[in-house]
Amino acid sequence: ILNVEQSPQSLHVQEGDSTNFTCSFPSSNFYALHWYRWETAKSPEALFVMTLNGDEKKKGRISATLNTKEGYSYLYIKGSQPEDSATYLCVSVGSARQLTFGSGTQLTVLP
Amino acid sequence: SQTIHQWPATLVQPVGSPLSLECTVEGTSNPNLYWYRQAAGRGLQLLFYSVGIGQISSEVPQNLSASRPQDRQFILSSKKLLLSDSGFYLCAWSVLLRTSGTKTNTGELFFGEGSRLTVL
Protein backbone atom coordinates (compact mmCIF):
# COMPACT_ATOMS: atom_id res chain seq x y z
CA ILE A 1 0.00 0.00 0.00
CA LEU A 2 1.47 3.29 -1.06
CA ASN A 3 -1.35 5.59 -0.02
CA VAL A 4 -3.66 5.89 2.94
CA GLU A 5 -6.97 4.23 2.15
CA GLN A 6 -10.12 4.43 4.22
CA SER A 7 -13.18 2.26 3.92
CA PRO A 8 -16.02 2.51 3.59
CA GLN A 9 -16.18 5.89 1.92
CA SER A 10 -19.52 6.54 3.59
CA LEU A 11 -22.04 4.73 5.70
CA HIS A 12 -25.38 5.29 7.33
CA VAL A 13 -26.26 3.63 10.62
CA GLN A 14 -29.22 3.78 12.96
CA GLU A 15 -28.93 5.48 16.32
CA GLY A 16 -27.73 2.93 18.85
CA ASP A 17 -25.89 0.77 16.33
CA SER A 18 -22.20 0.12 16.75
CA THR A 19 -19.98 0.59 13.75
CA ASN A 20 -16.38 0.48 12.67
CA PHE A 21 -14.25 1.57 9.77
CA THR A 22 -10.79 0.89 8.48
CA CYS A 23 -7.67 2.83 7.63
CA SER A 24 -4.91 1.12 5.64
CA PHE A 25 -1.50 2.74 5.45
CA PRO A 26 2.04 1.91 4.34
CA SER A 27 3.57 -0.28 7.03
CA SER A 28 7.12 0.54 6.00
CA ASN A 29 8.71 3.68 7.45
CA PHE A 30 5.80 4.12 9.83
CA TYR A 31 6.03 6.78 12.53
CA ALA A 32 2.51 7.53 13.78
CA LEU A 33 -1.16 7.36 12.92
CA HIS A 34 -3.70 10.07 13.63
CA TRP A 35 -7.49 9.90 13.61
CA TYR A 36 -9.45 13.15 13.20
CA ARG A 37 -13.11 13.86 13.43
CA TRP A 38 -14.41 16.47 11.00
CA GLU A 39 -17.91 17.81 11.50
CA THR A 40 -19.61 19.84 8.82
CA ALA A 41 -18.84 23.55 9.03
CA LYS A 42 -16.13 22.95 11.61
CA SER A 43 -12.43 22.20 11.43
CA PRO A 44 -10.99 18.71 12.00
CA GLU A 45 -10.17 17.79 15.58
CA ALA A 46 -7.76 15.10 16.65
CA LEU A 47 -9.30 12.01 18.23
CA PHE A 48 -6.30 9.75 18.63
CA VAL A 49 -2.58 9.71 17.99
CA MET A 50 -1.08 6.22 18.01
CA THR A 51 2.50 5.13 17.54
CA LEU A 52 3.01 1.59 18.81
CA ASN A 53 1.91 -1.68 17.28
CA GLY A 54 -1.01 -2.99 19.30
CA ASP A 55 -1.95 0.46 20.61
CA GLU A 56 -5.56 0.79 21.69
CA LYS A 57 -6.99 4.18 22.52
CA LYS A 58 -10.43 5.06 23.83
CA LYS A 59 -12.38 8.28 24.20
CA GLY A 60 -15.90 7.79 25.46
CA ARG A 61 -17.75 5.55 23.01
CA ILE A 62 -15.02 5.80 20.38
CA SER A 63 -11.97 3.58 20.33
CA ALA A 64 -9.18 2.76 17.90
CA THR A 65 -6.64 0.02 17.40
CA LEU A 66 -3.37 -0.03 15.52
CA ASN A 67 -1.49 -2.77 13.67
CA THR A 68 1.73 -1.32 12.29
CA LYS A 69 3.05 -4.63 10.97
CA GLU A 70 0.19 -5.13 8.57
CA GLY A 71 -0.60 -1.45 8.16
CA TYR A 72 -4.13 -0.94 9.37
CA SER A 73 -6.11 0.81 12.06
CA TYR A 74 -9.73 0.35 13.06
CA LEU A 75 -11.98 3.02 14.52
CA TYR A 76 -14.97 1.76 16.51
CA ILE A 77 -18.02 3.67 17.65
CA LYS A 78 -20.23 1.97 20.20
CA GLY A 79 -23.89 2.93 20.39
CA SER A 80 -23.77 5.58 17.64
CA GLN A 81 -25.54 8.85 18.30
CA PRO A 82 -26.63 11.51 15.78
CA GLU A 83 -23.90 13.80 17.11
CA ASP A 84 -21.33 11.23 15.94
CA SER A 85 -22.20 12.13 12.36
CA ALA A 86 -19.02 13.46 10.82
CA THR A 87 -16.19 12.57 8.47
CA TYR A 88 -13.48 10.55 10.17
CA LEU A 89 -10.02 11.15 8.74
CA CYS A 90 -7.00 8.91 9.08
CA VAL A 91 -3.52 10.39 8.69
CA SER A 92 -0.35 8.37 8.40
CA VAL A 93 2.91 9.97 9.51
CA GLY A 94 6.00 8.52 7.86
CA SER A 95 9.51 8.29 9.22
CA ALA A 96 10.42 11.38 7.23
CA ARG A 97 7.61 13.10 9.14
CA GLN A 98 5.48 13.46 6.05
CA LEU A 99 1.72 13.37 6.65
CA THR A 100 -0.59 11.55 4.26
CA PHE A 101 -4.34 11.92 4.61
CA GLY A 102 -6.92 9.33 3.76
CA SER A 103 -10.03 10.51 1.95
CA GLY A 104 -12.15 9.94 5.04
CA THR A 105 -15.20 7.92 6.01
CA GLN A 106 -18.39 9.94 6.12
CA LEU A 107 -20.65 8.64 8.88
CA THR A 108 -24.33 9.54 9.14
CA VAL A 109 -26.22 8.39 12.21
CA LEU A 110 -29.95 8.35 11.63
CA PRO A 111 -32.23 9.09 14.61
CA SER B 1 -3.11 27.79 25.30
CA GLN B 2 -2.49 27.66 21.60
CA THR B 3 -5.00 29.01 19.11
CA ILE B 4 -5.10 29.27 15.35
CA HIS B 5 -7.15 31.70 13.32
CA GLN B 6 -7.65 32.00 9.61
CA TRP B 7 -9.62 34.48 7.55
CA PRO B 8 -11.68 35.30 5.71
CA ALA B 9 -14.19 32.52 6.38
CA THR B 10 -15.88 32.79 2.99
CA LEU B 11 -14.88 34.31 -0.32
CA VAL B 12 -16.61 34.61 -3.66
CA GLN B 13 -14.22 35.85 -6.30
CA PRO B 14 -14.19 36.10 -10.10
CA VAL B 15 -11.78 34.15 -12.26
CA GLY B 16 -8.54 36.04 -12.71
CA SER B 17 -8.79 37.98 -9.46
CA PRO B 18 -6.12 37.77 -6.74
CA LEU B 19 -6.41 35.82 -3.51
CA SER B 20 -5.02 36.23 -0.04
CA LEU B 21 -5.87 33.95 2.87
CA GLU B 22 -4.18 34.57 6.17
CA CYS B 23 -3.50 32.30 9.10
CA THR B 24 -2.01 33.16 12.46
CA VAL B 25 -1.08 30.99 15.42
CA GLU B 26 -0.88 32.12 19.02
CA GLY B 27 0.58 30.52 22.09
CA THR B 28 3.41 28.56 20.48
CA SER B 29 6.67 29.31 18.77
CA ASN B 30 8.32 27.84 15.69
CA PRO B 31 5.33 25.75 14.67
CA ASN B 32 5.13 23.73 11.50
CA LEU B 33 2.46 25.41 9.37
CA TYR B 34 0.34 23.86 6.65
CA TRP B 35 -2.19 24.85 4.01
CA TYR B 36 -4.63 22.15 2.93
CA ARG B 37 -7.43 22.23 0.40
CA GLN B 38 -10.51 20.10 0.08
CA ALA B 39 -12.00 20.29 -3.39
CA ALA B 40 -15.62 19.26 -3.86
CA GLY B 41 -16.07 15.54 -3.26
CA ARG B 42 -12.41 14.94 -2.50
CA GLY B 43 -10.16 14.47 0.50
CA LEU B 44 -7.70 16.90 2.05
CA GLN B 45 -4.76 17.76 -0.16
CA LEU B 46 -1.59 19.29 1.23
CA LEU B 47 -0.69 22.43 -0.69
CA PHE B 48 2.19 23.95 1.27
CA TYR B 49 4.03 23.45 4.49
CA SER B 50 6.59 25.51 6.32
CA VAL B 51 9.06 24.63 9.05
CA GLY B 52 10.27 28.19 9.61
CA ILE B 53 10.19 31.82 8.50
CA GLY B 54 10.71 32.07 4.78
CA GLN B 55 10.85 28.29 4.36
CA ILE B 56 8.07 27.05 2.13
CA SER B 57 7.66 23.64 0.54
CA SER B 58 5.13 23.15 -2.21
CA GLU B 59 3.49 19.79 -2.63
CA VAL B 60 1.40 20.43 -5.71
CA PRO B 61 2.26 22.57 -8.75
CA GLN B 62 -0.41 25.21 -9.16
CA ASN B 63 -1.04 28.88 -9.46
CA LEU B 64 -1.05 29.31 -5.68
CA SER B 65 1.84 30.46 -3.54
CA ALA B 66 2.50 30.68 0.17
CA SER B 67 4.60 32.92 2.34
CA ARG B 68 5.64 32.97 5.98
CA PRO B 69 6.73 36.51 6.79
CA GLN B 70 6.65 35.93 10.54
CA ASP B 71 7.07 32.88 12.75
CA ARG B 72 3.36 32.48 13.39
CA GLN B 73 1.88 33.89 10.19
CA PHE B 74 1.18 31.88 7.06
CA ILE B 75 -0.35 33.40 3.94
CA LEU B 76 -1.83 31.68 0.90
CA SER B 77 -1.96 33.77 -2.25
CA SER B 78 -2.75 33.73 -5.90
CA LYS B 79 -2.24 36.40 -8.55
CA LYS B 80 -5.02 35.05 -10.78
CA LEU B 81 -7.61 32.60 -9.56
CA LEU B 82 -8.87 29.72 -11.67
CA LEU B 83 -12.23 28.00 -11.45
CA SER B 84 -10.44 24.91 -10.18
CA ASP B 85 -9.19 26.85 -7.16
CA SER B 86 -12.64 26.68 -5.60
CA GLY B 87 -12.70 24.67 -2.42
CA PHE B 88 -12.37 24.66 1.32
CA TYR B 89 -8.97 25.78 2.56
CA LEU B 90 -7.64 24.82 5.94
CA CYS B 91 -4.62 26.16 7.75
CA ALA B 92 -3.05 23.93 10.39
CA TRP B 93 -0.11 23.91 12.74
CA SER B 94 1.79 21.22 14.52
CA VAL B 95 4.67 21.00 16.90
CA LEU B 96 7.92 20.22 15.14
CA LEU B 97 8.22 16.46 14.99
CA ARG B 98 11.26 15.40 16.94
CA THR B 99 12.38 13.24 19.79
CA SER B 100 13.84 14.96 22.81
CA GLY B 101 15.09 12.64 25.53
CA THR B 102 12.25 10.24 26.20
CA LYS B 103 9.60 12.54 24.80
CA THR B 104 8.47 12.25 21.22
CA ASN B 105 5.70 14.30 19.75
CA THR B 106 3.85 12.89 16.85
CA GLY B 107 2.83 16.01 15.01
CA GLU B 108 -0.83 16.19 15.91
CA LEU B 109 -2.42 18.81 13.68
CA PHE B 110 -4.50 21.71 14.96
CA PHE B 111 -6.71 23.22 12.32
CA GLY B 112 -8.08 26.69 11.74
CA GLU B 113 -11.73 27.36 11.09
CA GLY B 114 -11.39 27.07 7.34
CA SER B 115 -12.02 29.38 4.40
CA ARG B 116 -14.51 28.51 1.71
CA LEU B 117 -13.51 29.93 -1.64
CA THR B 118 -15.88 30.02 -4.61
CA VAL B 119 -14.42 31.16 -7.89
CA LEU B 120 -17.01 32.21 -10.45
State residue B96's pLDDT score. 58
Give the Å distances, CA to CA, from A98 to A43, A93, A105, B54: 21, 6, 21, 19
Query: b/e per residue, A23-58, with b = 16+ CB within 10 A?
Result: bbbeeeebbbbbbbbbeeeebbebbbbbeeeebebe
Cβ-defined contact of B44 to A89 (cutoff 8 Å)? yes
pLDDT(A99) > 90: no
Query: Which of B108, B113, B115, B116 is the best mutation test for A, with the most CBs of A within 10 A?
Result: B108
Over pLDDT 90: what percentage of chain A?
74
Tens digit of each residue's pLDDT (9 = 90 or more) over A27-82: 988 888 999 999 987 889 999 999 899 999 999 999 999 999 999 999 999 999 99
Cβ contacts of B25 within 8 Å, gap of 6 or more: B2, B3, B4, B31, B33, B72, B73, B74, B93
Say which range, A92-106, B38-52, B91-105, has the weakest mean pLDDT. Answer: B91-105
Cβ-defined contact of A36 to B109 (cutoff 8 Å)? yes
Predicted confidence band at B105 (pLDDT cuts at 50, 70, 90)?
low
